């Protein structure tokens, strides 16, 4: 891939002299959905698919962007003097937002750059292509201009850019999983204080399989911000009865005791998901440490039911993929992953069942939905890096 993106850079920008190649992964969340902005735990991992970037410093303040995923758009020109939060600038708002966020933190960019991107993450799949671009951009700026920022800083800057430049009220999970990725490990992250531990993923005789629904979805135009607002309403009402900082501070028993403080049935169900999903995630990681992959799978399944019934973010596409997966012998667990309303499911499938899984789920999905899903048997990879 390195040679492919360098050749394309030379074709687009005339030559590739002085250009460097970078990579940032995508991510999948194994369990712990819509808990990251509710002060709960998440359990994501970085993938070996992601975003490749070729960048070269310029002598002026001009910015030139090109994406091999959106070739019809051609080269998009801008400037460091034209970084305007909330502007309708399509995909370039993700790298621009990070440049803006660096400058907001006092790290002034001395010059512009030519940038070419090629993502191997399916666009709109919910595997965090936007966060991958954000972390990639941060890694480029750090390398080019010598900024003293850690990988964890790159995650926080990426989230800040998403919240304040792109106006999407996302939590920290996506950027953190991508920036802090470690091969063959998932990250057990407490989003309330960013304490985390790496947990080895030893799926003896099984693989992680991602099914992409091919229903395109954007965080900003989904009901993501609405769900977050509903949880904030529930939290504010609970705080009148119990001393908590976030929904993640409650366990199931405490939620049952105080839930009547939430006056709206809808907000109560949203909060119940956030509380119960957090506890499921804690139990799932414990099960994995004990080698109980079957229990991990059961908790994945329960996560999907909660996301479907209490949080209402699945939809017919994701429900079809998951419910068909549950019918197949050899599927240990299956659930939607990401924000929902489209995107992907993640399943743990025994090796001998993978071909059967892809065939049967794919056929049933096409029959029900009218178009095909795409399947990826994925591996867990490292975080952002320069490809020397």
Query: Which tokens belong to 115?
Result: 């940038």
Q: Answer yes or no: is 228 within a domain.
A: no
Would you call 355 helix, strand, or coil by DSSP? helix
d(CA 248, CA 213) in angstroms, rounded, equals 30
DSSP state letter for 96: H
CATH code of 98's domain: 3.30.230.10
- Pairing state of beta strands 113-119 and 62-67? parallel
CB 98 within 8 A of CB 113: no
CA distance from start to end of the chain: 13
What is the number of domains present in the chain?
1
Q: By C-alpha distance, which of 4, 146, 113, 120 is closest to 51?
A: 120
Phi, psi dihedral angles at 65 (to 5 degrees): -120, 140
Residue 237 located in a structural domain? no
Residue 38 belongs to a domain: yes
Using a cut of 0.85, tell me whether the model's pTM lies above it: yes
In a domain, 71, yes or no: yes
**What is the residue range of 54's domain?**
2-200
Residue 313 falls within a domain, yes or no?
A: no
- List per-residue pLDDT tens for the chain, 388 residues long: 999 999 999 999 999 999 999 999 999 999 999 999 999 999 999 999 999 999 999 999 999 999 999 999 999 999 999 999 988 889 999 999 999 999 999 999 999 999 999 999 876 666 778 999 999 999 999 999 999 999 999 999 999 999 999 988 888 989 999 999 999 999 999 999 999 999 999 888 999 999 999 986 555 456 888 999 999 999 999 999 999 999 999 999 999 999 999 999 999 999 999 999 999 999 999 999 999 999 999 999 999 999 999 999 999 999 999 999 999 999 999 999 988 888 899 999 999 999 999 999 999 999 999 999 999 999 999 999 999 7
The set of catalytic residues is 174
- Residue at token pair 């090629």: 118
Two structure tokens written together for 248: 């993640």
């Amino acid at each position: 891939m390195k040679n492919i993106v360098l050749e394309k850079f030379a074709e687009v920008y005339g030559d590739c002299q002085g250009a460097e190649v970078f990579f940032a992964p995508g991510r999948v969340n194994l369990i712990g959905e819509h808990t990251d902005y509710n002060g709960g735990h998440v359990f994501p991992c970085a993938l070996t698919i992601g975003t490749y970037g070729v960048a070269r410093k310029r002598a002026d303040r001009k910015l030139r962007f090109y994406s091999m995923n959106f070739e019809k758009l051609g080269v998009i020109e801008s400037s460091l003097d034209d970084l305007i939060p909330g502007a309708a600038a399509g995909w370039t708002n993700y790298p621009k937002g990070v440049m803006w966020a660096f400058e907001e933190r006092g790290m002034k960019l001395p010059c512009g750059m030519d940038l070419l991107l090629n993502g191997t993450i399916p666009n709109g799949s919910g595997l965090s292509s936007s966060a991958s671009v954000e972390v990639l951009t941060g890694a480029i700026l750090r390398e080019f201009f010598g900024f003293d920022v850690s990988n964890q800083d790159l995650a926080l800057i990426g989230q800040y850019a998403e919240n304040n430049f792109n106006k999407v009220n996302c939590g920290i999970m996506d950027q953190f999983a991508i920036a802090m990725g470690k091969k063959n490990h998932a990250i057990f992250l407490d989003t309330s204080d960013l304490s985390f531990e790496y947990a080895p993923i030893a799926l003896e005789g099984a693989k992680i399989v991602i099914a992409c629904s091919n229903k395109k979805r954007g965080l900003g135009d989904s009901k993501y911000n609405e769900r977050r607002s509903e949880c904030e309403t529930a939290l504010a009402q609970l705080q009148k009865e119990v001393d908590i900082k976030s929904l993640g501070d409650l366990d199931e028993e405490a939620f049952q005791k105080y839930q009547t403080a939430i006056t709206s049935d809808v907000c109560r169900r949203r909060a119940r998901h956030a509380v119960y999903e957090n506890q499921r995630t804690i139990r799932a990681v414990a099960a994995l440490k004990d080698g109980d992959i079957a229990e991990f799978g059961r908790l994945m399944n329960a996560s999907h039911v909660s996301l479907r019934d209490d949080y209402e973010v699945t939809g017919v596409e994701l429900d079809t993929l998951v419910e068909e997966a549950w019918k197949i012998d050899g599927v240990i667990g299956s659930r939607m992953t990401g924000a929902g309303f489209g995107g992907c499911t993640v399943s743990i499938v025994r090796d001998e069942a993978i071909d059967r899984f892809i065939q049967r789920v794919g056929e049933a999905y096409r029959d029900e939905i009218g178009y095909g899903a795409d399947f990826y048997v994925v591996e867990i990879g490292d975080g952002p890096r320069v490809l020397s």
